Structure 1
Amino acid sequence: MSGVDFINRAIVAGEERGLRALAPLELTILAIAEAEVYCDKNGIDALILRYGIETLPAFASAFAEIGAMKVAPSLSALVKTRVPPEQLLSAANDLITGRVGYRYERIIAYVEARI
């Protein structure tokens, strides 16, 4: 199976079973994909509304796994406040929509090194 095939299957599995039912590599892929989609379309607020602020550590961990070292701490910072200030939300959203510190090719390489 190629990295791209695994990524596509992980996304489908996540849509069918949810974040909590995924294996670690699948969770990493789905968390990144969901963050990108929600931030691109409706903003990080929509991601938090969908999954809850308590799940952001899993999202931060996913970005750290692929080496997105600016995205991961920006998500972790959101968890530290009960109601994240707009400045932190906007910064995290901008990092994700800008794909800062990573590209799709890095995700594929990450997956292919683990399957």
Structure 2
Amino acid sequence: MNPDSVIQDAIERGERYGLESLTGVQRVVFAISEAEVYCDNNGIDGLIHRYGVPGMRTFAEAFDAVGATDVASTLLALAKGAPPPEALLDRANRLIVDRRGYTYESL
């Protein structure tokens, strides 16, 4: 299976069965895709509303897996408590929208 097929399959499975049903590479790919979509369209607030503050750990793990350490550490900081400071929310959203620290090929 080529990389594009792996990514497409992960996204389709994630949309159908949810993030919690995925493991390994599929979980990483879907989590990053999900974060990008939410941040691009509704901002990080939408992602937090969908997955909760503690759920940001899952997204941090995914970004860490592809070497996006700034994104990962910011999401971990968000996961530590509610309500998160506005400056931290803005930083997380900006890093994800800018695709900071990773590329499509990293997936």
Kindly provide the CA deviation profile for residues 65-90 of structure 1, in whole angstroms up to 9, marking residues without a partner as x.
00001100000000112200100000
Q: Which runs of 4+ in 1 moved over 3 A?
A: none
**Structural mapping, 1:95-114, within 5 Å:** 95-107=95-107
Q: Secondary structure at the match of 2:69?
A: coil
TM-score, normalization by structure 2: 0.97
Q: How many residues of Structure 1 are paired with residues of Structure 2 in the alignment?
A: 107
Structure 1 equivalent of residue 70 of structure 2: 70
| Matched residue, 2:8 | 8
Superimposed CA distance per residue, residues 20-60 of structure 1 (whole angstroms, 9 cap, x where no aligned partner): 11122111000000000000111000001011112111100
Contact persistence 2:39–2:47 (CA under 8 A): yes
Identity of aligned residues (%): 50
1:38 corresponds in structure 2 to 38
Distance 2:24 2:103 in 1: 20
For 2:40, give the aligned amino acid: D
CA-based RMSD of the aligned residues comes to 0.7
Structure 1 SS opposite 2:84 = coil
CA distance in 1: counterparts of 2:71 and 2:22, whole angstroms: 22
Partners of 2:105 and 2:25 lie apart in 1 by 16
Aligned to 2:19: 19
Structure 1: runs of 5+ lacking an equivalent: 108-115
Relative CO higher for 1 or 2, CA cutoff 8 Å, sep ≥ 6?
A: 1
